[in-house]
Amino acid sequence: MVNDEKASRKKVHVWKSTEEEKFMYSGSITPEKGTFIVEIEPFSIYSITTTTGQRKGNFEPPPSCHLGLPYYETFDEYANGSQPRYFCDQGGAFEICENGFRGKGLSQVITRDIRPIDWVYRKTPDPYTIFGDIDWSNYSVSCWVNLEGQNVATAYAMVGGRVIDSPCNENPPVGYYLKIHGNGFWELKRYTTTLIKGTIENFDATKWHHVKISFKDSKIEVFLDNAKLCDYFDEIGGISSGLVVLGSGYHKVRFDEISVEPLEDFTPAYARKIDDRDPSIRYIGKWNHIFASYSDYRRTLSETPGNGFSYFEYTFEGAGINIIGNIVNNRIKADIFLDGVKVRSINVDDIENGPKKNCSVESPICHLENIQSNLFCILL
């Protein structure tokens, strides 16, 4: 309804944007008695105006590319209290501060006494910030960490990588991370699961400590102050790529001299994600292709009832592959073939200690590496 009498007689021009095309002119409408109707298609954004002269811009953006490796950040070029580029806080607040390890640093500044009130529907997580490239795969991340003398179990600093999701609740990021507590207790975790843990004797929470985590295929190595703290193999249900994460409890912690580096030249630093709607995937049998939630890659899913005659094929060049999807009602059985040879049978029980029922995030169902095949097939 157009309330202004003069405007109600003007033509209304409609512009539409979709995922495929932006700012397309959809024609004009002449209101009748101050009203007009516009048909709105799903997954579209509309602009409606009585003005004229608009046009679609002709600037061509640069092609999409990865955030390059190696990546370094010393925080020295920023003003105090600002946020460094690429960092995205998910809880707490990470700001540039004085008194880094050398020069300026990054400080988590939200303490428990000024913690924000939780929204009624979703609780706030402990402070953490993420940055990097979702396709970073085989890399190491290192930095200096200072717990500012908080030598209690409730105080901790977190450093991690291969983060694939940030849940909209009080849960931590979906990825791998090391938590070092002020009393010397430490744990390597994948999402909410503790993979391995221990205690550092005579840990000094007043000093700077150097943390490094290395991801190479299914192997994770953790170093503290240049000494190996642990290593862990996460072959089944592992996460193959993702962002870097820094975090803490609701107390002050400082970080400095972030370094993210690729591993050996022969180890690929980036993973390539293929959406289930990609035309290179060939589906045979009964499949439903649906629009899914924000936590699914490109918001799409392909489902099958699984009767032994439904399968998909994908041809690729590479040394490893992950199958990523949602596991619903604890029901999944599949046979996997490479170049016509059966290499593995999987079911939900293979994924120990990982998310199982009705996953709300992408869950690695199967991981294969060090392969030299080209044709990949999974029979469900």
Quick check: 205 and 151 in contact, CB under 8 A? yes
CA distances from 118 to 91, 121, 333, 347 (A): 11, 8, 40, 38
- Euclidean distance between CA atoms 108 and 194, whole angstroms: 24
Distance (Å, whole) CA 202 – CA 187? 17
**Secondary structure (H, E, C), 294-316:** CCCHHHEEEECCCCCCCEEEEEC
Arithmetic mean of pLDDT, 73-92: 97
What phi and psi, each to the nearest 5 degrees, are found at residue 225?
50, 45
Rounded distance, CA 30 to CA 74, Å?
59
Q: Are 243 and 133 in contact (CB under 8 A)?
A: yes
Q: List, for residues 56-77, the tens digit of each pLDDT value.
A: 777 788 888 999 999 999 999 9
Q: Which residue has the higher pLDDT, 246 or 365?
A: 246
Q: Name the range with the highest mean pLDDT among 46-50, 171-175, 272-276.
A: 171-175
Please state, for a pLDDT cut of 90, what percent of the chain lies above it: 50
Q: Is the pLDDT of residue 186 over 80?
A: yes
Q: Is the pLDDT of residue 363 over 80?
A: no
Model confidence band, residue 103 (pLDDT cutoffs 50, 70, 90): very high
pLDDT digits (tens, 9 = 90+) for 7-47: 567 888 999 999 888 888 988 888 887 788 888 898 899 99
User: What pLDDT does residue 291 have?
Assistant: 84
DSSP state of 47: E
Q: Is the pLDDT of residue 358 over 50?
A: no
pLDDT of amino acid 267: 72
Query: pLDDT at position 83, please?
Result: 96
Q: Output 312 or 377, whichever has higher pLDDT.
A: 312
In the structure, what pLDDT confidence band is assigned to residue 330 with cuts at 50, 70 and 90?
low
Mean pLDDT is lowest, of 3-7, 231-235, 351-355, for 351-355
Mean pLDDT (the chain, rounded) = 85
pLDDT for 379 equals 56
- Counting Cα atoms < 13 Å in the Cβ hemisphere of 138 gives 16
Model confidence at 1: pLDDT above 50: no
Would you state the pLDDT for residue 356? 35
What domains appear along the chain, each with residue ranges and CATH number? 7-49 (no CATH), 71-262 (2.60.120.560), 281-379 (no CATH)
Q: Which two tokens stand for residue 224?
A: 């503290």
This prediction has a pTM of: 0.76
Per residue in 149-161, pLDDT (tens digit) is 999 999 999 999 9
Predicted pLDDT of residue 357: 32
**Residue 179: CB atoms within 10 Å:** 21
Residues 258/141, Cβ–Cβ less than 8 Å:
yes
Given CA atoms 324, 328, 330, 335 in this order, what sign does their dihedral have?
Answer: negative
Query: Binning pLDDT at 50, 70 and 90, where does residue 219 land?
Result: very high
Q: Which of 77, 72, 104, 107 is nearest to 89 (CA)?
A: 107
